[in-house]
Amino acid sequence: MKIELKGRKAIVTGSTAGIGRAIAEGLARAGASVVINGRGEQRVAAALQELRALLPKAEFTGVVADLSTAEGSAALVDKVKDADILVNNLGTAHLNGFFEQKDSEWLDLFQLNVMSGVRAARHYVPGMVQRGWGRVVFISSESGVAIPKEMIDYGMTKTAQLAVSRGLAELVGGTGVTVNAVLPGPTRSEILGNWMKATAGEQGITQEEAEQTFLKTMRPTTLINRFTTTEEVANMVIYVCSEQASGTSGAALRVDGGVIRSIP
């Protein structure tokens, strides 16, 4: 199977680093023109420079916008009018004490992890339906199914993405547009990589040892006994954005290393 996305325009939110950066690279390798997004001018410029050096023939555009706000989302759609592929990758997590956490922290995370994708889908999906082809992917998490007690708010946002993704797939059924969610497990992205590096530094162990401790204590059901790479997650996303994935919509696709212990 050869994935060919020449002539397709893709937007990947939160793509200057981590999983988003790997998805942007993978889509470009398959021939799509790709819009990179991040909050900071410098980070977007650096990601563009790096990707253009890596793939000189590929077409990349950068949009600086904080998509956790309605204004940031408006700035994105103002700069990029339409898209064939939308990957709602933007998302973050903080370790939180449920009993200490303020309302505003819950609402801010909901804005960032859920509303960023809702707003982008609301703008871009009607055009996809009109043209009779489109791919929308929400990057959820195994934490949307196996809610972590130290990040209940994060789990809530990741479950919400599954609901939005399935509902939207229902809404655009039969139009040539597919909508799916991808559920990564612990992945060596920028945020989790930095966390593991810091833990390793504090405890005088290697990053691999810190990751192993994390898996043993927090995700003991892993079947691969390691963190996934950002490329492994990206591979699933590139497939689900392909022509060949036309039979898959409304699905929650796992790249969680088997952490979730259920069959379907």
Does residue 222 touch ligand NAD according to CB under 6 A? no
- Show contacts with ligand NAD in window 190-219 (CB under 6 A): 190-192
Among 5, 8, 18, 222, binds ligand NAD (CB under 6 A): 18
Active site residue 154: yes
> Which residues are within 8 A (CB) of 223 and not within 5 positions of it... i.e. 6 or more apart?
257, 258, 259
For ligand NAD, the closer CB: 69 or 175: 69
| Least distance from ligand NAD to the Cβ atom of residue 207, Å | 14
Q: Which candidate in 60, 138, 154, 227 is catalytic?
A: 154
CB distance 142 to 259 below 8 Å: yes
Rule CB under 6 A: say whether 62 interacts with ligand NAD.
no
Give, as one character, the DSSP assignment of residue 5: -
| Contacts (CB under 6 A) with ligand NAD, residues 129-148 | 139, 141
Q: Where do the H-state alpha helices sit in the chain?
A: 18-29, 41-54, 70-79, 103-110, 116-131, 152-171, 190-203, 207-218, 230-240
- How many residues of this chain bind ligand NAD (CB under 6 A)? 28
Classified as helix, coil or strand, 226 is: coil
Supply the minimum distance, in Å, between the C-beta of residue 91 and ligand NAD: 2
Contact between 13 and 89 under an 8 Å Cβ cutoff? The reply is yes
Regarding 38 and contact with ligand NAD (CB under 6 A), the answer is yes
Spatial strand order in the sheet of 252-255: 60-64, 33-38, 9-12, 85-88, 134-139, 177-184, 252-255
Is the CB of residue 111 less than 8 Å from the CB of residue 72? no
The answer to whether residues 238 and 228 touch, using CB atoms and an 8 Å cutoff, is no
Residues 83-112 that bind ligand NAD (CB under 6 A): 89-92, 112
Least Cβ distance, residue 36 to ligand NAD (angstroms) = 9
In whole angstroms, the minimum distance from the beta carbon of 90 to ligand NAD comes to: 5
**Catalytic residue list:** 154
User: Which residues in this chain contact ligand NAD in the complex, by CB under 6 A?
Assistant: 14-20, 37-39, 43, 66-68, 89-92, 112, 139, 141, 184, 186-187, 189-192
